[in-house]
Structure 1
Amino acid sequence: MLFPTLSFGLFFLLVFALTWSTTSNDWRKLVLLVASWIFYGAWDWRFVPLLIVSAVMNWGVAALIARDDDRKRRKALMLGGVVANLVMLGFFKYFDFFAEQAGSLLELLGVRQDPALMQVILPVGISFFTFQGISYAVDVYKGRVPAARLLDILLLMSFFPHLVAGPIVRASDLVPQFQQKPQLNRGMVTMGLLLIVWGLFKKAVIASELATAFVDPVFEAPMMHGRIDLILAAYGYAVQIYCDFSAYSDMAIGIAALLGYRFPRNFDRPYRSASLQEFWRRWHISLSRWLRDYLYIDALGGNRGGKARVYRNLMLTMLLGGLWHGAAWTFVIWGGLHGAALCVERWWSRASLTKAWVLPHWAKVALTFHVVVLGWIFFRASSFGDAVAYLGGIFAPQVDTMTVTPLVVGLILFGLAIHALPWNAMQRAAERLRSLPAPAFALGLAATMLVVDAMRYEGVAPFIYFRF
């Protein structure tokens, strides 16, 4: 069930009416929980029990940790919970990949056999809800949050607005909201509706049009396109993935706001970053903070130790972050590229360089953006060979054809121009709109949605991050 569809619109209207008509907060949460399972089951009912088992397991581990006073047993319980989450994620996401790699290795050693691939189906959103489970167990162990009721944890990990593609909302952010009956005011309604419409525009008009009209055909057959097409398609994918993923986050935040809950911001104009470190503070913020807090700091030690250890921790964090996105070498290379760039940045910022070597801000932004775009080529390519062929076409083109249209160029420029907006542009717009009379606001909203519907590409493609 996709957000920008009529079926989801009807589903949400029913959920909205039921939740705000209940007087008991527990009944409200039960309604949201059942609705979330229905939402997830619309994709495949067979995996709803997996979602429930994951939530119950993490609730149980955290409850045992909270009740035990022995430090060693608490740590063992926490590690057991983390391992259980990773085993579940690893089986569904990486089993076939590692089985295939093992078969290739055996073939190189002269042992010819066909590994029995199980063709494991990847449950939608498993990377997100397992990461939420890990963070909850670790936070209870660290004393950052108290153990919560089963109902609250079930809803935390199943809540449909962020279930399948984030943001990764931690227990410390959402459980306290679940424990109080939410209130809905005009400001939240205005902001929520504005975010939904803005997300719908970015997804249905910009991202979908770029994907179908230009980016997908170029990446599927890079050798059939000239240098200009390849360069612009790389820029186009940078805009497409930003508009696609930030659109989902915007709509998720807006939908949660209409239900009375606040999600953290997940994107903050990432392509205006002057460094890779700044980029990761602005891109997929909930994942970046998760990797920083639980992997880089808690698991690897962060900046503690010598320079070599810090560089190692940066590389491991980004390599594992790349592998989190999918079982393919292209994702590992993408993560390694970002890790290497972060290490170079760290060395550069601490080296004794004269002012002559210091780049102006605009040059830093341009350099950072192009490093990110280079990484997106590996991220988008179907295989390492396709990525190499794509780069080869840029530097040694075999054809001079150009298929890019003025509309595509305009969408790319518009998608980049979005980053020039002030950080609080949406909030300021909501504040102005909330003063309008309700009929005028409703009429304007309806007219805007009709315009977006008329402009959008036919059909609704799944969000890119559904496969992660």
Structure 2
Amino acid sequence: MLFPTLGFGLFFLLVYALAWALKASNEWRKIALLMASWFFYGAWDGRFVALLFGSAVVNWALARGIAASRSPRGARLLLTGGVVANLAVLGYFKYVGFFFEQLALLLHGLGFARDLPLMQVLLPVGVSFFTFQAISYLVDVHKRRVEAAGLLDLMLLMSFFPHLVAGPIVRASDLLPQFRATPRLERGAVAAALLLIVWGLFKKAVIASELAGSLVDPAFFDPASRSGLDLLVGAYGYAVQIYCDFSAYSDMAIGIALLLGYRFPRNFDQPYRARSLQDFWRRWHISLSSWLRDYLYIPLGGSRRGAAHTYVNLFLTMFLGGLWHGASWNFVIWGSLHGLWLGAERFWDRHRPAGIARAPGWAAWLVTFHIVVLGWVFFRAPDLDAALGYLGALGSGGWRNTLVTPLSLGLVLLGMAIHFVPPRLLPIAAVRLRGWPAPALGLALGALVLVVDAMRPEGVAPFIYYQF
């Protein structure tokens, strides 16, 4: 069930009405939201609702055991067991097929012709997100950052449909206190939520979808048949597409949750403004980058054990962050590229000769942006050969049958312009809309949705991050 569809719109209207009809009983309200979340997830594949249920029960029991343990060693063992169990679920669904494929290639290369089992494991949508959420919950309970939650609250935390399949990775410390309180809905929150939803709908349905169909997908499908101009603009186009696609999902998820009375953290902050890769990761997919920092980089030692360990920890964090996205050498290379460049930035900051000035801001931005775009080529290409072929064909000539049209070029520029819209404009607009009568606000929203619907191409492609 995709956000920008009529089916989801009808589903959400029913959930919205039911949730606020039950506001007098917070427990029944949460039960209704949990049932709705399972229905939402089951609309994709009902079999995996059991996975959500089982994961929540196991993590609930482990967290209760950690909280009740009077032995630090016993609590650590329960935590370790919980982390291993969650990673085992993620590893089975996401990496077992890749492991057998690589093992078969290795054995063949060594001269051992063996028929290994072909493992085709269906990947549950959003498994990476709710698994990471469960791990952070167990760690936070162990460190006494949050109290062990009741089973209903934890099930809802892991299954809540606005963030279930593509984030943001909302931490227990942010959402569990909201579940325990009686929610309220203010007119200003409604105005902000509706603006976020329509804004996200426009970015996804118009810019990301049109760029994918007219420019990006054809360029990456057969780069050898395309000109260098097509591939260059296609790489920039994908940078705009993935930003508009993923930030649109985050905006809509935040807006939908806000209409139900819950606040999610912001997930994007103009990432292409960054003048270093470190700054980029403070702005891009903030919930994941902060998760990697707090639950991987810092536990590895962070920057506390000297320069060499810092570089290794940076690389390992981004390497594993790349692998989190999928079982593919492309994601390994993408994460490794970011890890190596983060280390290079840290090395240069520490060892830059005193007589050499820092690079001008525009130069730092230009280099950072193109490192990110280079990484996106590996991120988007279907396999390593395709990525290398794409980069190798960038220098090719030819202008005939080009994919670059005034529309596609205009959408790339429009997407970048949208990216640079100051974040404060949305709250300002929401304040102005707050005083509108409800019928006028509804009519304005309906008109905007109709305009977006008229502008979008046929069909709605799944969000890019659904595959993770």
TM-score (norm 2): 0.98
Residues 211 and 408 of structure 2 are in contact (CA less than 8 Å); yes or no, is this contact kept in structure 1? yes
**CA contact 2:191–2:433 (8 Å) conserved in 1:** yes
Distance 1:38 1:367 in 2: 45
Q: Where does 1:353-392 land on structure 2 (aligned, <5 Å)?
A: 353-354=353-354, 356-392=356-392
Find the counterpart in structure 2 of residue 50 from structure 1: 51
Q: Which runs of 5+ in 1 are unaligned?
A: none
Deviation at 1:437, TM superposition (A): 2.6
Contact 1:223 1:398 in 2 (8 A): no
Which structure 2 residues correspond to residues 61-460 of structure 1 after superposition, within 5 A? 61-298=62-299, 300-354=300-354, 356-395=356-395, 397=396, 399-401=398-400, 402-460=402-460
Instruction: Answer yes or no: is the 8 Å Cα contact 2:100–2:119 preserved in 1.
Output: no
Gapped runs of 5+ residues in structure 2? Answer: none
Which secondary structure state, in structure 2, belongs to the residue aligned with residue 162 of structure 1? coil
| Kept in 2: contact 1:224–1:399 (CA 8 A) | no
Query: More deviation in 385-394 or 28-37?
Result: 385-394
> How much does 1:146 deviate?
0.9
Q: Is the 8 A contact 2:227 2:393 kept in 1?
A: yes
Cα distance in 2 between the residues matched to 1:353 and 1:296: 28
Alpha-carbon deviation of 1:419?
Answer: 2.8
1:169-221 CA-partner distances (Å, limit 9, x unpaired): 01000000000110001011101111000000000000000001110000010
CA distance in 2, matches of 1:247, 1:17: 24
State the identity %. Answer: 65
Distance in 1, Cα, partners of 2:109 & 2:117: 18
Quote the Cα distance in structure 2 between the aligned partners of 1:144 and 1:449: 42
Compute the displacement of 1:357 (Å): 4.0
The SS at the match of 2:416 is helix
- Deviation digits for residues 225-250 of structure 1 (CA, Å, limit 9, x no counterpart): 11111000000000000000000000
Out of 328-337 and 114-123, give the one that drifted further: 114-123
Letter in 1 for 2:305: G
Separation (CA, whole Å) in 2 of partners of 1:19 and 1:419: 34
> 1: CA distance between counterparts of 2:48 and 2:421?
41
Amino acid at match of 1:387: A
Give the structure-1-normalised TM-score. 0.98
> Counterpart amino acid of 2:257?
A
Range with bigger deviation, 425-434 or 95-104: 425-434
For the 8 Å contact 1:128–1:164, the answer to whether it is kept is yes
**Deviation (angstroms), 1:462:** 0.3
Q: Structure 2: how far apart are the matches of 1:255 and 1:346?
A: 39
Measured in 1, the distance between the counterparts of 2:230 and 2:354 equals 39
**Any idea what the Cα deviations from partners look like across 1:293-332, whole Å, max 9, x if unmatched?**
001112x111121211110000000000000000000000
**Separation of aligned partners in 2, 1:357 and 1:223:** 42
Report if aligned partners of 2:214, 2:403 keep a CA contact under 8 Å in 1.
no
C-alpha distance in 1, partners of 2:231/2:125?
31
CA displacement at 1:398 relative to structure 2: 5.7
Counterparts of 1:109 and 1:327 in 2: how far apart (Å)?
23
